[in-house]
Amino acid sequence: MTDLPITSKSRPATAGDYVQLLKPRIMMLVVFTAFVGLVAAESVTGIQMHPVMAAIATLAVALGSGAAGAINMWYDADIDAEMKRTATRPIPSGAVPADEALSMGLILSGVSVLLMWLASNWLAAGLLAFSIVYYGVIYTMWLKRATPQNIVIGGGAGAFPPVIGWAAVTGNVPQDAWILFAIIFMWTPPHFWALSLLAHKEYARVGVPMLPVTHGARHTRRQVLFYTVLLLATSLLPLMTGLGGVIYSVAAILLGLAFLALSIQLLRTRAGEEEAPAAHNKFAAGVFAFSIFYLFALFAALLVEHLFGLSFPVRELL
């Protein structure tokens, strides 16, 4: 867990090391999707949150995401040290002591939930607390090293931010909020498994049962396609409830078809297999990169519609 090799070198920690503990790249996506949930809730319900309160609620989501990231890095320091992709993280590189990272995670968890409660309501604060526990405990400590379905079930943690953003505005979580949850939930497996095709050897070495390790690369590529089909279907649900309008529908269909085409192409490659051509593995890396663009663009379409009043429900045009 946190027993690091004695040989790990110590170096003075910089502010950047503490920022790294918060997993800033994940945080960006979390904050963005939470903000979209918040803006969509205001637009759909007509309830306006004070801009400063909305900013503090968004900050709370960012801090909560960072807290969960720090707890994850504390727990996973032993396997991070053994994997090339993660060996330079602040704890395995010796910059930040493990117990300091845990303290930071726990303190930030408390601060984020407190700020969310003060700036909005207990429901949003409760959901934020639950999402931190979901990622930091349920995914990191229970699922990650226990089952190849770790990413599928654990994906729920990353799907909470738009629900939290919605709850911060309205104090409840209606169907539309859960549709946003479902989109991120369905997006996580193809997103992460595309990456795990490239890192499966390292996961196997440290005993993490990622899908390519337990079921092989071909099965993983099939599952990527399966979840991409589910994602495409789920991404069309906002059109039925009126949450997504014309702009969103065009984005969802075009982006979804592009993701589907890439997943079909990925299935035809040998990415992740022994002695797979470099171009095939590079293609898997491309699918991973596209998946990030996909989620940003899909939520950006929703944001544009609700922020600038450009939401023209498709069902009214039919």
Partner 1 sequence: MAEPEKFEPRRLTEEELKARKRRNLWLALALGAFVVAVLAITMIKLSQGAAMPDGGF
Task: From 1, 35, 10, select the one nearest 169 (Cα to Cα).
Answer: 35
Q: How far is the CB of 24 from partner 1 (least distance, A)?
A: 15
Q: Based on CB atoms, which residue is closest to partner 1, 100 or 273? A: 100
CA of residue 122 relative to chain centroid, distance: 23
CB of 254 to partner 1, least distance (A): 40
Q: Which is nearer to partner 1, 114 or 246 (CB)?
A: 114
Question: Shortest approach of partner 1 to residue 267 CB, angstroms?
Answer: 47
Q: Which is nearer to partner 1, 123 or 301 (CB)?
A: 123
Q: How far is the CB of 91 from partner 1 (least distance, A)?
A: 16
Nearer to partner 1, 59 or 247 (CB): 59
Q: How far is the CB of 50 from partner 1 (least distance, A)?
A: 5
- Length of the chain, in residues: 318
In this complex, which beta carbon is closest to partner 1, that of residue 10 or of residue 172?
10
Tokens representing 8 are 């790990």
Instruction: Name the helix (H) or strand (E) containing 29.
Output: helix 24-45
Residue 241: exposed, middle, or buried by beta-carbon count in 10 A (0-12, 13-18, 19+)? middle
Phi then psi dihedrals of residue 313, to 5 deg: -55, 135
Amino acid (1-letter code) at residue 2:
T
Q: How far is CA 241 from CA 130, 219, 295, 304, 316, in A?
A: 27, 34, 20, 18, 11
**Residues at the contact surface with partner 1, assessed by CB under 8 A:** 12-15, 18, 50, 52-53, 56, 59, 111, 115, 118-119
Buried-state track 135-150, b at ≥16 Cβ within 10 A, e below 16: bbbbbbeebbbeebeb
Alpha-carbon torsion (267, 271, 277, 278), positive or negative: positive
Residues forming a β-bridge with 245: 313
Minimum distance from residue 114 beta carbon to partner 1 (Å): 9
286 sits in which H/E element: helix 278-307
Nearer to partner 1, 46 or 309 (CB): 46
Give min distance, CB of 118 to partner 1, in A: 5
The smaller minimum CB distance to partner 1, of residues 20 and 223, is found at 20
Asked whether the beta carbons of 21 and 90 are under 8 A apart, the reply is yes
